A and B are shown apart, each in its own frame.
Chain A
Amino acid sequence: MTALAALIRRDIRIALRVGGGALIGVLFFLTVTVLMPFAIGPDLALLTRLGPAILWLGALLASLLTLDRLFMADHEDGSLDLIVMGRTPLELACAAKALAHWLAAGLPLVVATPVLGLLLNLDAAATSAVALTLLAGTPALTFTGMIGAALAVTLHRGGLLLAVLVLPLSIPVLIFGVAASQAAITGPLAFGTPFSILCALSLASLVIGPFAAAASLRHGLD
């Protein structure tokens, strides 16, 4: 347990230091959301209708932005070799790294959502619904994205490959995340149905992600 706690502490610490990239995601999220009203125009009703979808897309892209460094940085400086050799099962180490990444990069997006909701003419109930769906859904984005991050290390390709690999996997999360937000704002669907599926997606990815990432890392070491 101390090993995993140490890993989480270290990753969060690095992310919060200068150049760590925890705030980059939030800034990107802010930029995307601020640009939307300029592109769509000052139609308040339209903004309200599109608001949840815009916030979800922004959060999805922002969470992808820093994900490719998840294993790449450790691979480049040799830390990954030592983590693979360590007595901690690699699956647990992967899960710890993803958890640290979510705490440092995913959670700030959820916290920023109420502020950004103002820019899209969403009322308090609507933004809190979106924030709640993001809270439930962003772990799924991180943990499925981790599979892509591990593959990017294995294949020695960063950045764009990750986006191409991960974005299709995140489609279900996007669908049910936006559906749950819309249900809470306009109906007629009950909020609980899509929200439960969103939570299920997150829980499934919490289990599958670490195993798939660890398998990829083990297979691809050289």
Chain B
Amino acid sequence: MRLSGRHVSCIRGGREVFSGLDFEADSGQALAVVGPNGSGKTSLLRLVAGLLAPAGGSIGLDGGAAELTLPEQAHYLGHRDALKPALSVAENLSFWRDFGGGIEDIGQCLAAVRLGHATHLPAAYLSAGQRRRLSIARLLAVRRPVWLLDEPTSALDAAGQDLFAGVMRDHLEDGGIILAATHTPLGIATRELRMGGAA
């Protein structure tokens, strides 16, 4: 499996964010998207996720399921964590599992991110780090080969970052692909995709 982009360019609000960007990542590889604020890291992830239309170039996944589009084979972990405060932790996670067509056990996914004790707590009472852990549990509840992660370790404590590094390592060993926008080291072997300055 190979995720690749050719001469991708992105225009937002009439301003060119980046252009002529090439990148590729094979199965088992992680690509860290680095660069200063405003250099288009989030835009790139949203382009790959199909949530923005590229102004030029192409993005594709070779060797994936033929009948599915790239966004349908990807997980997107963004700044907004897609949690409903009125629902409990388990309800939030089991909704995303059912919606994504996953079959994993909710209890195991929550235990894997050390949220097993908070299963019945409404998501409104979670701390920022716990919300992030719950979002990470979503990656485990439904299997998708491509993970698009936007600042995945923000709000995580040191133990959480170690734990997430282990989760990502397992995913890569399973032949997954990770594209992560980040300012801090992820704790796994990555190649760097440097986005130019805002200039």
Contact = CB atoms under 8 A, between A and B. Distances in A.
B127 to A, nearest CB: 16
A69 B159 CA distance: 37
A3 interface: yes
A85 B84 contact: no
B50 interface: yes
Contacts of B79: 78
Contact of A14 (B52, B74, B84, B94): B84
Interface residues of B, number: 27
Given A7-B99, A87-B72, A82 B52 contact: no
Nearest to A87: B72
Given A10-B84, A10-B87, A77-B80, A85 B95 contact: no
Given A81-B76, A87-B100, A10 B95 contact: yes
A79 B82 contact: yes
Contacts of B100: 3, 86-87
Contacts of B36: none
A222 interface: yes
Interface string A28-64: 0000000000000000000000000000000000000
Contact of B91 (A13, A77, A81, A221): A13
A77 B81 contact: yes
Nearest to A17: B86
Residue of A5, A19, A86 ringed by the most chain B CB atoms within 10 A: A86
B146 to A, nearest CB: 11
Contacts of A2: 98, 101
Contacts of A85: 49-51, 71-72, 74, 76
Interface residues of A, number: 27
Interface string A176-199: 000000000000000000000000
B35 interface: no
A132 to B, nearest CB: 33
B51 A13 contact: no
Interface in A1-35: 2-3, 5-7, 9-10, 13-14, 17-20
Given A78-B82, A87-B68, A6 B51 contact: no
B78 interface: yes
Contacts of A18: 86
B87 A86 contact: no
Residue of B51, B68, B72, B96 with most chain A CB atoms under a 10 A cut-off: B51
Contacts of A88: 99
A123 interface: no
Contacts of A87: 68, 72, 100-101
B7 interface: no
Contacts of A17: 86-87
Contacts of B83: 77
B76 to A, nearest CB: 6
B12 interface: yes
A17 B125 CA distance: 15
A18 B124 CA distance: 12
B81 to A, nearest CB: 6
Nearest to A15: B86
A77 B72 CA distance: 20
Contact of B98 (A6, A13, A20, A84): A6
Nearest to B72: A87
A77 B52 contact: no
9 contacts: A3-B98, A7-B95, A76-B80, A78-B78, A78-B82, A82-B82, A82-B99, A85-B50, A85-B76
Interface of A: 2-3, 5-7, 9-10, 13-14, 17-20, 76-79, 81-88, 221-222
Given A2-B101, A86-B100, A88-B99, 12 more contacts: A3-B99, A6-B98, A6-B99, A7-B99, A9-B95, A77-B80, A78-B78, A81-B82, A83-B99, A86-B72, A87-B72, A222-B51
